Amino acid sequence: MSRPVPPGREHIRAFLAGTITSWPDLRLEVAQVVAEDDQVMGRCIATATHTTAVMGIPPTGKQVVTTFWDLHRFDDTGLIVQTWNLMDSLTLMQQLGLLPA
């Protein structure tokens, strides 16, 4: 489960702003979405060019592609109350040259 955050949207805005700063040409493709009861799960494919230092690695100019999954649980007012995230970090690290492919 993702770390707890204070209520409100500000932390989401800050996370997205930081992500766009790190990956300015980020493209997200929603591949699947499943909803049941109070939960929604989605699988997305993220594509971006490594143009800024990320994880201490200077820009390589390489295009990277990775997949991530999010599972959100909503309360009765429609607000997210819990989130689980899973990202294919291994593939991302291989594409950035941190690990052998």
Give domain limits for the chain. Answer: 10-95
What pTM value is reported for the model? 0.82
pLDDT digits (tens, 9 = 90+) for 57-74: 899 999 999 999 999 999
Strand ranges for the chain from DSSP E: 27-36, 39-49, 63-74, 80-87
Distance (Å, whole) CA 4 – CA 35: 22
In terms of CATH architecture, what is 10-95? Answer: Roll (3.10)
Distance (Å, whole) CA 89 – CA 101: 13
pLDDT digits (tens, 9 = 90+) for 13-47: 998 899 999 999 999 999 999 999 999 999 999 99
Name the residue with tokens 């989605």: 42
Name the maximum alpha-carbon separation found in the chain.
46
Task: Compute CA distances 88 → 54, 64, 101, whole Å.
Answer: 16, 12, 13
**For residues 59 and 50, is the Cβ–Cβ distance under 8 A?**
yes
The pLDDT of residue 100 is 85
